[in-house]
Each structure stands twice: as structure tokens, then as C-alpha cells.
């Protein structure tokens, strides 16, 4: 009998299940990372990254932008989706074809057909930036999944339960990792721990995360 050591390693991309309906397709988009980042640069040239102010008056450490028919915005009035970028007072740039194809293919890979995102929120983390535990619940139809794509520096993603107090799993999200998340865990609390300083050949000093959603 021959022992093939490669058979004992996870296949690339390898799939990790976080909870019912939530999987990580590790490295799924890695070979496309530089092209995806070029799309992010084009989008954020038209709709620049900005640090939103939460309804409570705090400046978010993560810088954000959007593409798609609507974008996620926050100010003293609250969180909402808006078809106009309040910074430029124009529509958001369209979701580029390469990003759209990636999101739809990843959803299908995870067993969800029929994903038609209308919004993509873009998060940019610098060293020390974090995203506190939250639920994504500003979308109209919470049966719709979310597809998340990470580029550049790695970060620790916390994935909890339906109560803020529930114990969190910790998953390292590295370049090209895609999280496909829907079904019973759609409203689970989640967050990102403060980014460690580093250098990425793709993004330099940053981590970029894209979340594709169907908002209405």
C-alpha cells in the first residue's frame, strides 16, 4: 500500500462549517486577489473610503464604501441602505462583473442558487481597526444570504450565536477566504478583532472585506 501524504492535507479550497448555513470556502478567491483589489481601487476612486459615524456618535475605526444599487450608510439618524452616496451625492458605482460572478459562484459552491446581490459593502481595516460584535439585520428579507470575501492582511473573525453573550468561535480569515452565510445562522452575532500590523503584497497595510447582500 502506498501512503500519499497529500491525501491527508485539506483540499484547496477547503470548506469549513461554522454553523448550520454558514461555511468558509478557504482560499476560494485567492488566485484572483490582485484583480479583485483592482476593482476595489476603481470603486473607491469614485466612492472614497470614509469613517462613518455611528448613531451613538462614535467614529468607526473601519473605513467603508459601497458598490451596487444601494449602499450601507450610518449617521446620527441611524443605519440604513441608501441609493445615494451621502459623500459624493451620486449613485454608488455598479458592482463590477468580476465581483458579481465571484459572489454568485461562491454562493452556488456552498449550495445556494439564486443569489442576486444588489449591494456590496466594502470594509477597509488598518492596524488596530476592529468591528465590534453585531448582527446584520438592515436587509429586508433575512432569508437572503450574505457572501463575504477577504483580501490582504489576515484578521480574526468572531462568530457567535443569536445572543450577544453566546461564546464565539474564532476563525482566521486570510486572503481569498469567502464566507457564505445564510439560513438558521443568518442573524448570529459576529465581529472582527483588532487588525495586527503587517504587509500584504496585494493590499499593503490593509485588510479589505467585501460583503455582498440582497437588501430588498
User: Which residues in this chain contact ligand MD6 in the complex, by CB under 6 A?
Assistant: 123, 131, 136, 146, 148, 157, 179, 181, 190, 192, 209, 211
Residue with Cβ nearer Fe ion (35 or 156):
156
Q: Count residues binding Fe ion (CB under 5 A).
A: 1
Cβ contacts of residue 89 below 8 Å, gap of 6+?
none
Peptide bond into 13 cis (omega under 30): yes
Residue with Cβ nearer Fe ion (38 or 156):
156
For 63, half-sphere exposure in the C-beta direction (CA atoms, 13 angstrom radius) is 13
Residue with Cβ nearer ligand MD6 (123 or 215):
123
Q: How far apart are CA 206 and CA 120, in angstroms?
A: 18
Residue 47 interacting entry, from ligand MD6, Fe ion, none, C-beta within 5 to 8 Å by type: none
According to DSSP, residue 7 is labeled: G
Residue 27 interacting entry, from Fe ion, ligand MD6, none, C-beta within 5 to 8 Å by type: none
Q: Which residues pair with 115 in a beta bridge?
A: none
Helix ranges (H only) for the chain are 33-46, 97-109
First to last CA, the chain: 56
Residue with Cβ nearer ligand MD6 (88 or 204):
204
Q: Does 136 bind Fe ion (CB under 5 A)?
A: yes
Query: Of the listed pieces 59-67, 134-142, 165-173, 195-203, which binds Fe ion according to CB under 5 A?
Result: 134-142
Q: How far is the CB of 18 from ligand MD6 (least distance, A)?
A: 10
Q: Does 177 bind Fe ion (CB under 5 A)?
A: no
Amino acid at each position: 500500500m502506498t501512503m500519499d501524504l497529500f491525501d491527508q492535507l485539506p483540499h484547496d479550497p477547503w470548506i469549513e462549517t461554522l454553523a448550520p448555513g454558514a461555511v468558509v470556502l478557504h482560499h476560494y478567491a485567492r488566485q484572483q486577489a490582485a484583480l479583485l483589489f483592482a476593482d476595489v481601487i476603481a470603486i473607491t476612486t469614485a466612492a472614497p473610503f470614509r469613517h462613518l459615524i455611528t448613531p451613538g456618535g462614535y467614529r468607526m475605526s473601519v473605513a467603508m464604501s459601497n458598490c451596487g444599487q444601494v449602499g450601507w450608510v450610518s449617521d446620527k439618524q441611524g443605519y440604513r441602505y441608501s441609493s445615494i452616496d451621502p459623500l459624493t451625492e451620486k449613485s454608488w458605482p455598479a458592482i463590477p462583473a468580476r465581483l458579481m460572478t465571484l459572489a454568485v459562484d461562491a454562493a452556488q459552491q456552498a449550495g445556494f442558487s439564486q443569489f442576486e446581490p444588489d449591494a456590496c459593502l466594502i470594509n477597509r481595516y488598518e492596524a488596530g481597526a476592529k468591528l465590534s460584535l453585531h448582527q446584520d439585520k438592515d436587509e429586508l428579507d433575512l432569508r437572503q444570504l450574505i457572501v463575504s470575501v477577504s483580501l490582504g492582511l489576515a484578521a480574526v473573525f468572531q462568530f457567535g450565536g443569536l445572543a450577544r453573550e453566546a461564546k464565539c468561535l474564532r476563525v482566521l480569515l486570510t486572503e481569498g477566504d469567502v464566507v457564505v452565510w445564510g439560513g438558521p445562522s443568518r442573524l448570529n452575532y459576529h465581529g472582527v478583532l483588532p487588525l495586527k500590523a503587517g504587509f500584504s503584497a496585494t493590499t499593503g497595510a490593509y485588510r479589505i472585506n467585501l460583503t455582498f447582500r440582497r437588501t430588498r
